[in-house]
Amino acid sequence: MKDQFSFLGIPRPKRNELQKSFIRQARKEKLLDWEFVFRLWDLPEREFQYLALDYLIALTSSLSKADMDRLTDLIVKKSWWDTVDSLAANPIGTLCVKEPELVQSHILNWTDSDNIWLVRTAILFQLKHKEKTDKKLLASIIIGNSSSREFFINKAIGWALREYSKTDKEWVKEFIDSNPLHSLSVREARKYL
């Protein structure tokens, strides 16, 4: 974490135990409280952002198109790979399946953003889509960022390709062989090939 944030020192298993009944109740109620999420996000200790993420993930089915701008705010505030990656794959990835127009209105705008965390989210938002991955879109986003020298972008490119290789190894192999990618991206992408 490179001393980016302060921590209470509560490990994940203990956090899960402490929040279990709260998350279960939130799932039952299916009412997403954005004020609560932003209050957690504003607290200094990282465990509060993790609780906000777990809460959002538990209530992903309650998200609507209008929530994308709020999710964007979370990406760009207190940004680091741990929260951004969780937001990218789910709930943003799930919301984009439910509301495909968000790909045009948000994801495509993020691909060439000056904010590396928005770019990373655009690369990773299809991480859990498996056979529903839009390969043409994935390729376009990766190619658009393949000349980046940013570690977190190149790592995300490799991770997205590595994850998709579990679904379509041949496509990933051909993509790697046909496109100039940073060595870090290639190393990550080839992990399962």
In tens, the pLDDT along 144-190 reads 999 999 999 999 999 999 999 999 999 999 999 999 999 999 999 99
In CATH terms, are 1-118 and 126-193 the same topology?
no
pTM above 0.85, yes or no: yes
What kind of fold does domain 126-193 have according to CATH? Answer: 1.25.40
CA distance 98 to 40: 26
**Class of the CATH-defined domain 1-118:** mainly alpha
Longest distance between any two alpha carbons in the chain, whole Å: 50
Contacts of 46 (CB under 8 A, 6+ apart): 1, 5, 6, 7, 82
Listed by start position, the domains of the chain span: 1-118, 126-193
pLDDT, one tens digit per residue, over 96-155 is 999 999 999 999 999 999 999 999 999 999 999 999 999 999 999 999 999 999 999 999
CA distance 68 to 150: 25
CA distance 45 to 8: 6
C-alpha torsion angle, residues 46, 51, 52, 55 (rounded to 10): 160
**Alpha-helical runs (H) found in 4-67:** 12-29, 34-42, 46-58
Quick one: average pLDDT of 67-87? 96
